[in-house]
Amino acid sequence: MKLRKQVTVCGGAIFCVAVFSLYLMLDRVQHDPARRQSGGNFPRSQISVLQNRIEQLEQLLEENHQIISHIKDSVMELTDTGAVSPSGHLPFRSANGSWVLPFDGRPTFLALKPQDCQFTAGSHGQADVQMLDVYSLLKFDNPDGGVWKQGFDITYEPDEWDREPLQVFVVPHSHNDPGWIKTFDKYFMEQTQHILNNMVVKLLEDPRRKFIWSEISFFAKWWETADTYKQEAARKLILGGQLEIVTGGWVMTDEANVHYFAMLDQLIEGHQWLERNLGVTPRSAWAVDPFGHSATMPYMLKRSNLTSMLIQRVHYSIKKHFASTRSLEFMWRQGWDTGSSTDIFCHMMPFYSYDVPHTCGPDPKICCQFDFKRLPGGRINCPWKVPPKTVVEANVAERANLLLDQYRKKSKLYRSKVLLVPLGDDFRYDKALEWDQQYTNYQKLFDYMNSHPELHVQAQFGTLSDYFNAVYKAHGVAQGSRPADYPVLSGDFFAYADREDHYWTGYFTSRPFYKSMDRVIESHLRGAEILYSLAIANARHAGMEGRYPISDYGLLVDARRSVGLFQHHDAITGTAKENVVIDYGNKLLRSLIGLKRVIINAAHFLVMKNKEFYRFYQTEPFLETDDRRATQDSLPQRTLIELDPAGPRYLVVFNPIEQERLCTVTVLVNTVKVRVLTEDGQTLPVQLSAQWSSASQMSATFMVRLPPLGLAVFHLYESPDSPMTLRSETLLRLSSRGVAARAVDPLPVRSQQSDPQTFYISSQSLTLGFSGTTGLLESIKRKDDSQEVKVQMQFMMYGTRPSKDKSGAYLFLPDGKAKPYNQKEPPVVRVVEGPLFSEVVAYYQHFQQSIRIYNVPGKHTNTFPPSLVDTAPPAPPEAPPAGQLLPHAQSGLHPGQQLPPHDAHGSGSGSQQPGERSVFIKGVCGLS
């Protein structure tokens, strides 16, 4: 009833205004001398004068109609909450000071039912070992354990294997990092290709010899250069069980910094390559060098049909605890699994490293004597000053018994009488001599052990699956099944320390620029795959496969492999040498350029309603990206959209997720006279704000509703009168009276002396409070909740200890507790408020902090820089490009900003010249 009265009153006001306006117009027509026709000495007829006055009256009536329409719109806005207004209404400020926006009222989120989420469907999964409990139980001290420094003394009874002999599987391996000290290509040329070339020769010399290989990136490169004989030899070795491909990923992926999408994608790329070229499906996984292990990896391996896995880099205190309880082998289960569907059998190596001195048993001084690459005269030796001896008839008994003692002690840490003994290290077996040294000497030891029944041991070379199969057989269970009395474990193994307090946590933040670049390219890759697939499907449906560049699939493959390569545990971690990092960066940049080409070509095809007019131009693409990277280590530079009265520019926004979404979009323009229309002609609210790194550019932010896996096309006009375009209100809070800020139209900036009082920014659902001194967040309050949540933010800094071991790419070794970061002068704080977003940016000496809230109903969303630009000449307004485009998703960090110079908001000119292409395509990431 109250609303009806308001509408009645407002309607009456409109009528009164209309009548009064008509009266003024008639009076103006009668009395305004300027509107009278001066006939001089030639008087005009009364009909002509009356006709002229009627025409003037009609013109004034049309102007009055427009004024009344604006008044009516404003009245409707004042009587509406804005949440369900039809599109086309102006944003307005509510009584509490927050902006209210017009939306179409459709839901902006998906409703969830309790049964949709496993977490709410019942109790969490049950496990015998919860890693969180283990972490709280252990002291993480470092007592000296003797020869096994991080463990304990192991003893056994000589007759323990009388009834069931010890089965020993020695597994030769060579850990090949796809980039670390050397680049991927240099490693391949100087070492890896020789390892694989020797492998196909030396394994064929004796069918008892075995070997495992993990990194498909290297194997695929070798396969491309190998002759037919080597390829057939490799196939024969795999079919004969002498060579096993373990894990089968493109790399041995890092498990801490990677996104699960890229972790899975590199696994798929490796598995598909194996299937296409060798017909191989891996069954066992091998991860000896990632710096800690994530519970995500066993889930992916299980879902990829692997049955068993091995891990190595686990905190030494955890290894010691598991060894003491004989829990080094377990079924690894996901924490949310209420059954056992995610279980995978896992073997944890017990000692310091995966090299030979730390794999045969607890005493590295003895184990090193059985690394025959270290025989006297070689390039490496044993640090314990006791070198290996060549096995001959005179010493074989003594050597075999010494080694068997280590085997027996190691086996006491496990629940079966089957023992795994890796035999290798980084880039081993690159010389034919090492193959002979290792295999010949070990075979003599095996022959001696096996020929003496009183030793109760059966030793041989084996693959990883040979070992796991023997464990399953010994316990009488099927492959991948849980042996009786083996524990079930849930959780992960972070953070990793190999000795003392050397925690490998520095790599979580090492080289953050490349970690960010990786995420950007991952999102491009996903979007490009969607776009390419749909473009190909459209081309086939239209019978135009011959005209569409299907060869772009090669660019997708190259990008997958470059992204996959970067998931290596010395790449995305930031632990490679500088020249190797640059090589990774160049590979990623080439992939990014290739992905944008895929996006450009597919988008060009899909945007056209009439595909008959489609033409592919290799050298002059229809679209171009909206940002560019000049070099592998440069920040992206956004493309400026120059608007002019000649015609519209077209912006195409892609939604790469399978849900409709409402989100904000930001583009860079050269004028404040911006008007944004949808394809059906509806004007969208736009918020204009300054691009603070440039004196001639503005950013236009507007809100759009995007179809699932679809494109929306928007028209950008230079319009002198656009009531839907509102300018941000910018306030600089200055810490010193001697500091001044000055800016001119079109985007003026106010400044004031900062004070300790809390200040606020608001949206329709949130109010944030900030410290007047530091500009940091202090409180959060939801509009539907009377309680205010207090927040405390502080920047801290660590020093590094003065000892020999310092913090670096791998380690985090602080000199003590963190200390507060302080600077002499309080920061300059920039406060921006507007209908679509508000933000507070605090500028400190060494960094800046930005907090932004979006005025979006429903779930909060992120916005990212645009990603494609049309290169066609501007089309007339009546014939814009139409149809659905499906370009890429892009994520990443915004480039660092800085305070503008004086007069920072001039009109200026941009980088794009008239006559260049005019449609911009923006990729948007999923909900956050």
Question: Active-site positions?
Answer: 289
Order of strands, edge to edge, in the sheet holding 868-870? 623-624, 868-870, 919-923, 649-655, 710-718, 674-678
Cα(328)–Cα(347) distance, integer angstroms: 6
Order of strands, edge to edge, in the sheet holding 686-690? 661-669, 698-706, 686-690, 725-727
Report which residue type is found at 471.
V
CB atoms under 10 Å from CB of 545, counted, come to 11
Q: To 5 degrees, how large is the angle CA 62–CA 68–CA 69?
A: 90
Cα(71)–Cα(65) distance, integer angstroms: 10
Distance, first Cα to last Cα, the chain: 40
Cα(183)–Cα(689) distance, integer angstroms: 44
- By C-alpha distance, which of 918, 102, 85, 893 is closest to 515? 893
CB of 357 closer than 8 Å to CB of 423? no
Tell me the pairing of strands 637-638 and 627-628. antiparallel
Q: Which residues pair with 781 in a beta bridge?
A: 767
Tell me the pairing of strands 837-843 and 828-833. antiparallel
What DSSP assignment string belongs to 734-784? ES-TT------TTS-EEEEE--SS-EEEE-SSEEEEE-TTT--EEEEEETT
Can you read off the two tokens belonging to residue 453? 């029944």
Q: Which residues pair with 488 in a beta bridge?
A: 331
In angstroms, the Cα distances linking 839 to 268, 770, 795 are 41, 11, 19
SS3 90: coil
What DSSP assignment string belongs to 819-856? EE---SSPPEEEEEE-SSEEEEEEE-SS-EEEEEEE--
Q: Count Cβ atoms within 10 A of the Cβ of residue 431 and give its class: 0-12 exposed, 13-18 middle, 19 or more buried.
A: middle
Cα(793)–Cα(778) distance, integer angstroms: 7
